[in-house]
Amino acid sequence: MAGKTTYLTIEEFNNQAVLNQLDSKCTINNSIFKKGDVLQHQEIKEVLDICNNYNDFNINTLIVNSQETLTIWIEEKSQVSPVQAIEIQKNKDNQEKIESWPTNQSVPTKKVIKRYRGQVYEEEVADWSAMQQMNQQNKPRRKYRGHYID
């Protein structure tokens, strides 16, 4: 479920909101919002992009339209900031990628002799040709016009 962006004029905002000047917070419809960025009308694209980023993390936003500026108000749901939420999401994605790698199979390796600035050394690297052969063993062979295509 994505968050929602609400557009209000300054008059509607003043009628509906209960402001707390000390914390730069307001309450509308039993939701607490914290004052965010104040941008010019020409920067409407940035305002909408910011609101969409918050909405992706299920955080509601308000855009208050005054004569000179657009003010973004961000709903406070938890103590996690949007930057932390992005990091948490990245960590979850990376964890899923790591878990999707087959752990019961080891990656075949081979030893390669390398030369660098007159020094000769041996290094162990992944053997991708052996890995490809392992993957092909699990797949049935396919034919196209009488010839195998794998």
Per-residue pLDDT of 68-115, as tens digits, reads: 888 888 888 755 455 555 665 666 666 655 555 454 456 778 888 988
Tell me how far apart the alpha carbons of residues 63 and 49 are, in angstroms, rounded to a whole number.
12
Residue 9 has pLDDT above 80, yes or no: yes
Instruction: Look at 77 and 18; give whichever has higher pLDDT.
Output: 18
Q: Is residue 32 part of a domain?
A: yes
- On whether both 9 and 51 belong to a single domain, the answer is yes
CATH number at residue 28: 3.30.200
- On whether both 58 and 120 belong to a single domain, the answer is no
- On whether both 14 and 65 belong to a single domain, the answer is yes
Q: Is residue 147 part of a domain?
A: no
- On whether both 65 and 14 belong to a single domain, the answer is yes
pLDDT of residue 138: 66
Would you say 66 and 55 are in contact if contact means Cβ atoms under 8 Å apart? no
Average pLDDT over residues 51-67: 86
Q: Is residue 83 part of a domain?
A: no
pTM for the structure as a whole: 0.50
pLDDT of residue 48: 86
Q: Is residue 14 part of a domain?
A: yes
Instruction: Choose one of 62, 77, 92: the last residue of a domain.
Output: 77
Tell me how far apart the alpha carbons of residues 125 and 107 are, in angstroms, rounded to a whole number.
10
- On whether both 106 and 72 belong to a single domain, the answer is no
Would you say 8 and 65 are in contact if contact means Cβ atoms under 8 Å apart? yes
The type of residue at 134 is M
Q: Is residue 91 part of a domain?
A: no
Domain count for the chain? 2
CA dihedral 31, 32, 37, 38 (to 10 degrees): 80
- On whether both 63 and 108 belong to a single domain, the answer is no
- 120: containing domain: 102-136
Q: b/e for 53-92, b at 16 or more Cβ within 10 A?
A: ebeeeebbbbbbbeeeebbbbbbeeeeeeeeebeeeeeee
Q: Is residue 61 part of a domain?
A: yes
Tell me how far apart the alpha carbons of residues 16 and 37 are, in angstroms, rounded to a whole number.
20
Cα 107 to the center of its chain, rounded Å: 30
- On whether both 109 and 62 belong to a single domain, the answer is no
- On whether both 61 and 106 belong to a single domain, the answer is no
